A and B are shown apart, each in its own frame.
Chain A
Amino acid sequence: MFKYLKQLTSLVAMVAVLFTFTTETMAAKKSKTLKNTQKKGFVRCGVSQGLPGFSNADAAGNWTGIDVDVCRAVAAAVLGDASKVKFTPLSAKERFTALTSGEIDILSRNTTWTLSRDADIGLTFVGVNFYDGQGFMVRKSSGITSTDQFKNGISACTNIGTTTELNMRDFFNSRGISYEPVAFEKADEVVAAYDAGRCDTYTTDKSGLAAQRTKMSNPDEHIVLPETISKEPLGPVVRQGDSVWEDIVRWSLNTMIEAEEYGITSSNADMMKTSDNPAIKRLVGAEGEMGAAFGLDNDWNYRIITQVGNYGESYKRNIADTGILPDRGPNELWTKGGILYVPPAR
């Protein structure tokens, strides 16, 4: 009896092994990250420690934001379920180490794409999901309405480990203004110190300023100055050395943006399957073999659109409707006067 049982189990095991080998595609074999993600059953995503609109957790621990949606899109594409994401909140200082050491697989944390980060430290930026620029916030009562009114000796609160520190120096130096930089490790600490009156101005990405303003004890007492002192293209980052995973994340983001361009939304994606336009059909998995190259099935992009929505839906839900930045500005599609432009999915 036991003898047969033993044989039976080994047979089952052999079949199982064979089965996994055959279902495992070439791409999955090439991409260690994809294989690990599918084995674990969740996408490991690094996010901020709380930036409304981008990545922010509510009291129940549910994460929302446009950065969060990028990770959800990847989860929908590779695992079939947008909720299968494990979020790791990271400080600006920790984020790159967490990614390069393999603690997370995607860093989607309002991170600026710069040459040195892309080239030096083992990272690859896959795209831009928010075009931003650094600005300044001041108290309304100070009467300052432009950075031209800044005077010698101004104290500026900011985060360490960001491009902000460098831009701030360039800005003040080029104008010959002496300043006192007060740099904290966490965004909440910066806000608390500025709010208490430690600094005359708070500087970071404008989207961040708009989002953090909602956390102040009295948001109406503060204004964001109109000047933008730097280019801050924010986007998701992956580890260098896994080009298939890099492609999956890049095209998950591109799918969301292109879906908006073609008017495909989470609610009409089903109808779009029978569209006359081949470009639309490709985006909902009804034509072509768009997933095969990544080792995914054909419905990967359809799942992104139905489960997460297109970029416009994500923006509206997270940033416009929450009152952070109702005006899309440069983050409008290129067809509508913005600079959001992605390569075609074909």
Chain B
Amino acid sequence: MKLKKILPQAITLLVVILIFGFFTMNAQLNMENRGIDFGYGFLSQESSFDVQFSLIEYSGSDSYARAYLVGLLNTLLVSILGIILCTILGVIVGIARLSPNYLIRTTAAWYVEFFRNIPLLLQIFFWYYAALRALPLPQDAEAIFGASYLTIKGFYTPSLIWENLDIFIYSVVAAIIAIIFVRIQAKKLRENVGKHLPVLNISIAILFVLPLLTFLFGGVNVGYETPELKQLAKTSFKFEGGLSIPPELLSLVIALSLYTATFVAECVRAGIQGVGKGQREAASSIGLNRKQVLNLIIMPQALRIIIPPTTNQYLNLTKNSSLAAAIAYPDLVLVFAGTALMQTGKAIEIVSITMLTYLTLSLSISFFMNWYNAKIAIVEK
């Protein structure tokens, strides 16, 4: 009996190993025939190409490993921004789809049906090329709020210049720790004595007062730098100084979050509708108001339904960010699996690293969301 159970599994495993072995051997043989070396030594070589946009210091005299890091951080940046924006938009639209107001409900439905049924690549091209053509040249740009400019070469906005930034950051971290402490204490107080503390107001107060103190006593100071128009040639201008966001990043984030938000909205709607009608009615009958019903009764139960499918959408967004290559946003695929692959010719090595990276990213998101899901799951008592 036992053998009968184990044997098929053992055979399957053996077949899988053999298939892998065959492909590895085949690749090795072919590479040998064509005089291609296999190895990861190239990672420490000088990359000798520049990248348009990087979160860390990078130039062509750095190594391929650093170019990889540049690409990875750019992918992370676009994914994180996309996930945050699509969640906010998705929750709003999801709730709007259930609104008793006809106009809000229908607009939300139209938005979802429109954006989720157009291929993402097309949307990215639209936001990039259509938006590029619509945006003004730097010299024609009108200031937004006096000092920001949205131009074809990017979005320019004043940047803050900090003195003793580290002290400020420490104070923010301290404030957050203090808030967590207060919340725990407040919860204890509520459960033991039944006394309600205005937790939200206290939290906000701490968050403002602590960092503010560093300005007065910690020597923290903040100035700002505004973008200035600079002439490159007779009809060619650019902005210098301040913070500049390339149009490639802007259009990619817009396209990814608008597209993914439609799916998140549907998850949210499904979650809310999945909570029994009786729950809502029971909550109303004990005198909770609409906001309390939503926050205390509906949402905690709906989240259990919302989280797992939304995790899939976050994973999709992260993987879809690799379409960046089409519009020159230097993400992992463009920088590493594109330029670096071409310059070194190390196809198998680079593609395997890239695949492993996306796998790790996806598994991390998945792991975090599973943890969060387990945390909010209803504990049967």
The answer to whether B325 and A185 have CB atoms under 8 Å apart is: yes
Expressed in whole angstroms, the Cα–Cα distance for A149 and B129 within the complex equals 28
Mask, B47-61, CB within 8 Å of A = 1, is 011111000000010
The answer to whether B248 and A153 have CB atoms under 8 Å apart is: no
**Contact partner, B247, options A93, A116, A198, A200, Cβ 8 Å:** A198
**Contact partner, A144, options B137, B233, B240, Cβ 8 Å:** B233
Q: Given A183-B330, A241-B34, are A154 and B232 neighbors across the interface (CB < 8 Å)? A: yes
* A1 at the binding interface (Cβ < 8 Å): no
Expressed in whole angstroms, the Cα–Cα distance for A289 and B52 within the complex equals 56
**Contact partner, B51, options A100, A122, A138, A181, Cβ 8 Å:** A181
Q: Given A120-B345, A198-B153, are A241 and B35 neighbors across the interface (CB < 8 Å)? A: yes
Residues of B within 8 A of A165 (CB): 49-50, 339, 343
Residues of B within 8 A of A40 (CB): none
Q: Given A97-B347, A144-B233, A160-B334, are A196 and B52 neighbors across the interface (CB < 8 Å)? A: no
The answer to whether B152 and A173 have CB atoms under 8 Å apart is: no
The smallest C-beta distance from A107 to any residue of chain B, in angstroms, reads 13
The answer to whether A198 and B152 have CB atoms under 8 Å apart is: yes
Residues of B within 8 A of A182 (CB): 52, 248, 328
The answer to whether B36 and A122 have CB atoms under 8 Å apart is: yes
* B270 at the binding interface (Cβ < 8 Å): no
Q: Given A153-B230, A165-B49, A183-B334, are A193 and B235 neighbors across the interface (CB < 8 Å)? A: no
Expressed in whole angstroms, the Cα–Cα distance for A17 and B233 within the complex equals 72
* A61 at the binding interface (Cβ < 8 Å): no
Residue of B nearest to A180 (CB): B52
The answer to whether B328 and A189 have CB atoms under 8 Å apart is: yes
Of residues 188 to 216 in A, which have CB atoms within 8 Å of B's CB atoms? 189, 192-193, 196-198, 200
The answer to whether A200 and B236 have CB atoms under 8 Å apart is: yes
* B342 at the binding interface (Cβ < 8 Å): yes
The answer to whether A141 and B235 have CB atoms under 8 Å apart is: yes
**Contact partner, A153, options B50, B234, B240, Cβ 8 Å:** B240
The answer to whether B129 and A192 have CB atoms under 8 Å apart is: yes
* A37 at the binding interface (Cβ < 8 Å): no
The answer to whether B232 and A183 have CB atoms under 8 Å apart is: no
The smallest C-beta distance from B246 to any residue of chain A, in angstroms, reads 8
Q: Given A149-B233, A182-B248, A183-B328, are A196 and B129 neighbors across the interface (CB < 8 Å)? A: yes
Q: Given A166-B49, A198-B153, are A139 and B60 neighbors across the interface (CB < 8 Å)? A: no
The answer to whether A122 and B232 have CB atoms under 8 Å apart is: no
* Number of B residues, CB within 8 Å of A: 41
The answer to whether B326 and A185 have CB atoms under 8 Å apart is: yes
* A316 at the binding interface (Cβ < 8 Å): no
Chain A interface size range: 35 or more
Residue of A nearest to B132 (CB): A196
The answer to whether A143 and B235 have CB atoms under 8 Å apart is: yes
Residue of A nearest to B238 (CB): A153
Query: A-B pairs with CB below 8 Å: how many?
Result: 126
* A169 at the binding interface (Cβ < 8 Å): yes
Chain A interface helix/strand/loop/mixed: mixed
Residue of B nearest to A168 (CB): B50
**Contact partner, A181, options B33, B52, B132, B344, Cβ 8 Å:** B52
Expressed in whole angstroms, the Cα–Cα distance for A17 and B31 within the complex equals 33
The answer to whether A196 and B234 have CB atoms under 8 Å apart is: no
Expressed in whole angstroms, the Cα–Cα distance for A100 and B153 within the complex equals 38
The answer to whether A169 and B238 have CB atoms under 8 Å apart is: no
Residues of A within 8 A of B36 (CB): 100, 120-122
Residues of A within 8 A of B339 (CB): 160-161, 165, 183
Expressed in whole angstroms, the Cα–Cα distance for A121 and B31 within the complex equals 9
**Contact partner, A183, options B34, B35, B52, B129, Cβ 8 Å:** B52
* B133 at the binding interface (Cβ < 8 Å): yes
The answer to whether B247 and A92 have CB atoms under 8 Å apart is: no
* A184 at the binding interface (Cβ < 8 Å): yes
Expressed in whole angstroms, the Cα–Cα distance for A240 and B328 within the complex equals 32
**Contact partner, B132, options A96, A120, A193, Cβ 8 Å:** A193
Chain B interface helix/strand/loop/mixed: mixed
Expressed in whole angstroms, the Cα–Cα distance for A155 and B341 within the complex equals 24
Of residues 7 to 53 in B, which have CB atoms within 8 Å of A's CB atoms? 31, 33-36, 48-52
Mask, A146-182, CB within 8 Å of B = 1, is 0001110111010011100110110001000001111
**Contact partner, A142, options B234, B326, B345, Cβ 8 Å:** B234
Q: Given A121-B36, A160-B338, are A142 and B236 neighbors across the interface (CB < 8 Å)? A: yes
* A86 at the binding interface (Cβ < 8 Å): no
Residues of B within 8 A of A303 (CB): none
The answer to whether B132 and A198 have CB atoms under 8 Å apart is: yes
Residues of A within 8 A of B153 (CB): 155, 198
* B303 at the binding interface (Cβ < 8 Å): no
* B65 at the binding interface (Cβ < 8 Å): no
Expressed in whole angstroms, the Cα–Cα distance for A149 and B231 within the complex equals 12
* B89 at the binding interface (Cβ < 8 Å): no
**Contact partner, A122, options B34, B133, B152, Cβ 8 Å:** B34
Residues of B within 8 A of A93 (CB): 338, 341-342
> Which of A100, A116, A162 has the largest count of B CB atoms less than 10 A from its CB?
A100
Residue of B nearest to A92 (CB): B342
Residues of A within 8 A of B50 (CB): 165, 168-169, 179, 181
> Which of B238, B342, B345 has the largest count of A CB atoms less than 10 A from its CB?
B342
Residue of B nearest to A139 (CB): B235
Expressed in whole angstroms, the Cα–Cα distance for A93 and B345 within the complex equals 10
Expressed in whole angstroms, the Cα–Cα distance for A32 and B178 within the complex equals 74
Residues of A within 8 A of B230 (CB): 153
Expressed in whole angstroms, the Cα–Cα distance for A157 and B326 within the complex equals 13
Residues of A within 8 A of B240 (CB): 153
Residues of A within 8 A of B35 (CB): 122, 240-241
**Contact partner, A160, options B33, B133, B247, B342, Cβ 8 Å:** B342
* A239 at the binding interface (Cβ < 8 Å): yes
Residues of A within 8 A of B248 (CB): 182
The answer to whether A197 and B152 have CB atoms under 8 Å apart is: yes
* A117 at the binding interface (Cβ < 8 Å): yes
Expressed in whole angstroms, the Cα–Cα distance for A139 and B237 within the complex equals 13
* B293 at the binding interface (Cβ < 8 Å): no
Expressed in whole angstroms, the Cα–Cα distance for A346 and B132 within the complex equals 58
Selected A-B contacts with CB under 8 Å, 6 pairs? A144-B234, A155-B153, A160-B338, A161-B343, A168-B50, A197-B137
**A185-B326, A185-B338 given; 14 more Cβ-contact pairs under 8 Å:** A153-B240, A161-B338, A161-B339, A182-B248, A182-B328, A183-B339, A185-B325, A189-B328, A196-B133, A196-B152, A197-B137, A198-B153, A239-B34, A240-B35
Closest 6 CB pairs of A and B: A121-B345, A122-B34, A143-B234, A161-B342, A142-B233, A122-B36
